[in-house]
Amino acid sequence: METNILEKQLETILHQHIDHSDASHDIHHARRVLHNAVEISTREGHGDRRLLTAGAYLHDLVNVPKNSQLRSEASRLSAEAAEPILEELDFTPEETAAVQHMIIAHSFSANIPTETIEAKILQDADRMEAIGALGIARTFYVAGKLSSQLFDGDDPFAKTRPLNDSQFSVDHFKAKLLGLAATMKTVAGREIAKERSDYMLGFLHQLGAEIGFEVPVDWTPVQA
Protein backbone atom coordinates (compact mmCIF):
# COMPACT_ATOMS: atom_id res chain seq x y z
CA MET A 1 0.00 0.00 0.00
CA GLU A 2 2.79 2.43 0.93
CA THR A 3 4.57 2.00 -2.40
CA ASN A 4 1.31 2.49 -4.32
CA ILE A 5 0.82 5.84 -2.58
CA LEU A 6 4.44 6.75 -3.29
CA GLU A 7 4.02 5.90 -6.97
CA LYS A 8 1.01 8.23 -7.24
CA GLN A 9 2.91 11.02 -5.50
CA LEU A 10 5.92 10.58 -7.77
CA GLU A 11 3.76 10.45 -10.89
CA THR A 12 2.23 13.80 -9.98
CA ILE A 13 5.66 15.29 -9.35
CA LEU A 14 7.19 13.84 -12.50
CA HIS A 15 4.39 15.24 -14.67
CA GLN A 16 5.41 18.69 -13.45
CA HIS A 17 9.09 18.24 -14.32
CA ILE A 18 9.44 16.16 -17.47
CA ASP A 19 9.72 17.37 -21.04
CA HIS A 20 6.57 15.94 -22.59
CA SER A 21 8.04 16.29 -26.09
CA ASP A 22 10.47 13.38 -25.56
CA ALA A 23 8.60 10.07 -25.72
CA SER A 24 11.75 8.12 -24.88
CA HIS A 25 11.94 9.75 -21.43
CA ASP A 26 8.31 10.31 -20.53
CA ILE A 27 6.15 9.04 -17.68
CA HIS A 28 5.72 5.72 -19.46
CA HIS A 29 9.50 5.27 -19.52
CA ALA A 30 9.58 5.74 -15.74
CA ARG A 31 6.77 3.20 -15.30
CA ARG A 32 8.55 0.66 -17.48
CA VAL A 33 11.82 1.11 -15.63
CA LEU A 34 10.00 0.50 -12.35
CA HIS A 35 8.35 -2.60 -13.84
CA ASN A 36 11.76 -3.88 -14.94
CA ALA A 37 13.27 -3.08 -11.55
CA VAL A 38 10.52 -4.92 -9.67
CA GLU A 39 10.92 -7.97 -11.93
CA ILE A 40 14.68 -8.03 -11.40
CA SER A 41 14.33 -7.45 -7.67
CA THR A 42 11.77 -10.26 -7.38
CA ARG A 43 13.97 -12.70 -9.27
CA GLU A 44 17.03 -11.70 -7.27
CA GLY A 45 15.26 -11.70 -3.91
CA HIS A 46 16.90 -8.38 -3.02
CA GLY A 47 16.21 -4.67 -3.25
CA ASP A 48 14.22 -2.10 -1.30
CA ARG A 49 10.95 -1.44 -3.17
CA ARG A 50 10.61 2.10 -1.76
CA LEU A 51 14.07 3.08 -2.97
CA LEU A 52 13.57 1.40 -6.33
CA THR A 53 10.27 3.23 -6.83
CA ALA A 54 11.85 6.61 -6.14
CA GLY A 55 14.88 5.86 -8.29
CA ALA A 56 12.77 4.70 -11.24
CA TYR A 57 10.60 7.81 -11.25
CA LEU A 58 13.37 10.35 -10.63
CA HIS A 59 16.37 8.95 -12.52
CA ASP A 60 15.76 11.16 -15.59
CA LEU A 61 14.39 14.17 -13.75
CA VAL A 62 16.74 16.39 -15.75
CA ASN A 63 16.70 15.17 -19.35
CA VAL A 64 19.71 16.29 -21.39
CA PRO A 65 19.53 15.61 -25.16
CA LYS A 66 21.71 12.73 -26.38
CA ASN A 67 23.69 14.99 -28.68
CA SER A 68 24.44 17.56 -25.95
CA GLN A 69 27.94 18.05 -24.55
CA LEU A 70 26.33 17.99 -21.09
CA ARG A 71 24.90 14.48 -21.58
CA SER A 72 27.32 12.91 -19.08
CA GLU A 73 26.11 15.39 -16.44
CA ALA A 74 22.44 14.42 -16.72
CA SER A 75 22.46 11.86 -13.91
CA ARG A 76 24.25 14.19 -11.51
CA LEU A 77 21.83 17.01 -12.30
CA SER A 78 18.88 14.65 -11.81
CA ALA A 79 20.24 13.49 -8.45
CA GLU A 80 20.58 17.09 -7.29
CA ALA A 81 17.06 17.95 -8.45
CA ALA A 82 15.68 14.86 -6.69
CA GLU A 83 16.96 15.83 -3.24
CA PRO A 84 14.25 18.40 -2.29
CA ILE A 85 11.56 16.13 -3.73
CA LEU A 86 12.71 13.19 -1.63
CA GLU A 87 12.86 15.38 1.48
CA GLU A 88 9.32 16.57 0.77
CA LEU A 89 8.22 12.92 0.57
CA ASP A 90 9.73 12.26 4.02
CA PHE A 91 12.67 10.19 2.87
CA THR A 92 15.33 10.06 5.56
CA PRO A 93 18.76 11.55 4.80
CA GLU A 94 20.10 8.01 4.42
CA GLU A 95 17.31 7.04 2.00
CA THR A 96 17.79 10.26 0.06
CA ALA A 97 21.50 9.60 -0.29
CA ALA A 98 20.79 6.03 -1.41
CA VAL A 99 18.36 7.18 -4.11
CA GLN A 100 20.73 9.89 -5.26
CA HIS A 101 23.48 7.31 -5.66
CA MET A 102 21.11 5.11 -7.68
CA ILE A 103 20.32 8.04 -9.97
CA ILE A 104 23.93 9.11 -10.45
CA ALA A 105 25.18 5.58 -11.09
CA HIS A 106 22.44 4.48 -13.50
CA SER A 107 23.82 6.48 -16.41
CA PHE A 108 25.79 4.76 -19.16
CA SER A 109 27.71 7.91 -20.06
CA ALA A 110 28.55 8.87 -16.46
CA ASN A 111 30.41 5.56 -15.91
CA ILE A 112 30.07 5.60 -12.11
CA PRO A 113 30.34 2.30 -10.13
CA THR A 114 27.13 0.95 -8.60
CA GLU A 115 27.70 0.46 -4.86
CA THR A 116 24.32 -0.93 -3.73
CA ILE A 117 21.99 -3.66 -4.93
CA GLU A 118 19.32 -1.03 -5.65
CA ALA A 119 21.76 0.92 -7.84
CA LYS A 120 22.64 -2.26 -9.72
CA ILE A 121 18.96 -3.10 -10.23
CA LEU A 122 18.04 0.40 -11.41
CA GLN A 123 20.93 0.50 -13.85
CA ASP A 124 19.93 -2.88 -15.30
CA ALA A 125 16.25 -1.86 -15.41
CA ASP A 126 16.99 1.33 -17.30
CA ARG A 127 19.30 -0.39 -19.79
CA MET A 128 16.55 -2.89 -20.55
CA GLU A 129 14.78 -0.01 -22.32
CA ALA A 130 17.52 0.05 -24.94
CA ILE A 131 17.28 -3.59 -26.03
CA GLY A 132 14.62 -5.93 -27.36
CA ALA A 133 11.58 -4.76 -29.32
CA LEU A 134 11.37 -1.57 -27.31
CA GLY A 135 15.06 -0.89 -27.86
CA ILE A 136 14.56 -1.18 -31.62
CA ALA A 137 11.62 1.25 -31.50
CA ARG A 138 13.52 3.74 -29.34
CA THR A 139 16.60 3.58 -31.55
CA PHE A 140 14.72 4.69 -34.63
CA TYR A 141 12.60 7.18 -32.68
CA VAL A 142 15.68 8.94 -31.31
CA ALA A 143 17.41 8.73 -34.69
CA GLY A 144 14.45 10.49 -36.25
CA LYS A 145 14.66 13.30 -33.70
CA LEU A 146 18.37 13.67 -34.47
CA SER A 147 17.78 13.47 -38.24
CA SER A 148 20.00 10.39 -38.63
CA GLN A 149 19.72 8.04 -41.61
CA LEU A 150 18.35 4.52 -41.21
CA PHE A 151 21.51 2.85 -42.49
CA ASP A 152 24.26 3.14 -45.09
CA GLY A 153 22.63 1.71 -48.20
CA ASP A 154 25.96 0.54 -49.63
CA ASP A 155 27.30 -0.99 -46.40
CA PRO A 156 24.51 -1.21 -43.79
CA PHE A 157 26.50 -3.33 -41.32
CA ALA A 158 29.80 -1.43 -41.59
CA LYS A 159 31.87 -4.24 -43.08
CA THR A 160 34.24 -1.89 -44.90
CA ARG A 161 33.86 1.40 -43.05
CA PRO A 162 34.09 2.70 -39.47
CA LEU A 163 30.92 2.65 -37.40
CA ASN A 164 29.14 5.99 -37.29
CA ASP A 165 26.02 5.80 -35.14
CA SER A 166 25.56 9.56 -35.18
CA GLN A 167 24.83 9.27 -38.90
CA PHE A 168 23.38 5.76 -39.30
CA SER A 169 20.80 4.28 -36.92
CA VAL A 170 21.68 0.63 -37.57
CA ASP A 171 25.30 1.34 -36.62
CA HIS A 172 24.08 2.05 -33.07
CA PHE A 173 23.19 -1.61 -32.60
CA LYS A 174 26.84 -2.64 -33.00
CA ALA A 175 28.32 0.49 -31.43
CA LYS A 176 26.36 0.14 -28.18
CA LEU A 177 23.16 -1.89 -27.97
CA LEU A 178 24.47 -5.38 -28.70
CA GLY A 179 27.02 -4.93 -25.93
CA LEU A 180 24.59 -3.86 -23.20
CA ALA A 181 23.80 -7.40 -22.00
CA ALA A 182 27.43 -7.76 -20.91
CA THR A 183 27.12 -4.68 -18.69
CA MET A 184 24.22 -5.96 -16.59
CA LYS A 185 25.05 -6.12 -12.88
CA THR A 186 22.50 -8.71 -11.73
CA VAL A 187 21.97 -12.33 -12.72
CA ALA A 188 18.32 -11.66 -13.53
CA GLY A 189 19.29 -8.62 -15.55
CA ARG A 190 21.71 -10.65 -17.64
CA GLU A 191 19.07 -13.34 -18.26
CA ILE A 192 16.46 -10.86 -19.43
CA ALA A 193 19.00 -8.90 -21.46
CA LYS A 194 20.12 -12.04 -23.29
CA GLU A 195 16.57 -12.79 -24.38
CA ARG A 196 16.02 -9.24 -25.60
CA SER A 197 19.42 -9.01 -27.31
CA ASP A 198 18.78 -12.23 -29.20
CA TYR A 199 15.45 -10.81 -30.37
CA MET A 200 17.23 -7.65 -31.52
CA LEU A 201 19.77 -9.68 -33.48
CA GLY A 202 16.88 -11.53 -35.12
CA PHE A 203 15.52 -8.18 -36.27
CA LEU A 204 18.87 -7.29 -37.82
CA HIS A 205 19.00 -10.61 -39.67
CA GLN A 206 15.49 -9.98 -41.01
CA LEU A 207 16.49 -6.47 -42.05
CA GLY A 208 19.57 -7.84 -43.79
CA ALA A 209 17.49 -10.43 -45.65
CA GLU A 210 15.10 -7.74 -46.87
CA ILE A 211 17.83 -5.43 -48.17
CA GLY A 212 20.20 -8.09 -49.48
CA PHE A 213 23.03 -7.95 -46.93
CA GLU A 214 24.25 -10.46 -44.34
CA VAL A 215 24.82 -9.47 -40.73
CA PRO A 216 28.50 -10.01 -39.83
CA VAL A 217 29.30 -12.70 -37.27
CA ASP A 218 30.88 -10.16 -34.94
CA TRP A 219 27.49 -8.46 -34.52
CA THR A 220 26.44 -11.28 -32.18
CA PRO A 221 25.33 -9.86 -28.79
CA VAL A 222 28.16 -9.70 -26.27
CA GLN A 223 27.47 -11.80 -23.14
CA ALA A 224 29.00 -11.30 -19.72
> Could you tell me where in the chain the CATH 1.10.3210.50 domains are found?
2-125, 131-219
Poorest-confidence range of 19-23, 45-49, 160-164? Answer: 19-23
Q: How deeply is 118 buried, as exposed, middle or buried, from its count of CB atoms within 10 A (0-12, 13-18, 19+)?
A: buried
What pLDDT score was predicted for residue 46? Answer: 94
**Domain covering 131-219, topology:** Hypothetical protein af1432 (1.10.3210)
Return the percentage of the chain with pLDDT > 70, whole number: 93
Torsion sign over Cα 192, 195, 199, 205: positive
Q: Choose between 65 and 9: higher pLDDT.
A: 9
What pLDDT score was predicted for residue 71? Answer: 64
Phi and psi torsions of 149, nearest 5°? -85, 160
Return the percentage of the chain with pLDDT > 90, whole number: 79
pLDDT at residue 1 tops 60: no
The mean per-residue pLDDT over the stretch 25-32 comes to 90
pTM over 0.85: yes
pLDDT at residue 18 tops 80: no
Looking at the structure, give the CATH architecture of the domain made up of residues 2-125: Orthogonal Bundle (1.10)
What is the tens place of the pLDDT at every residue in 100-148? 999 999 987 778 899 999 999 999 999 999 999 999 999 999 999 889 9
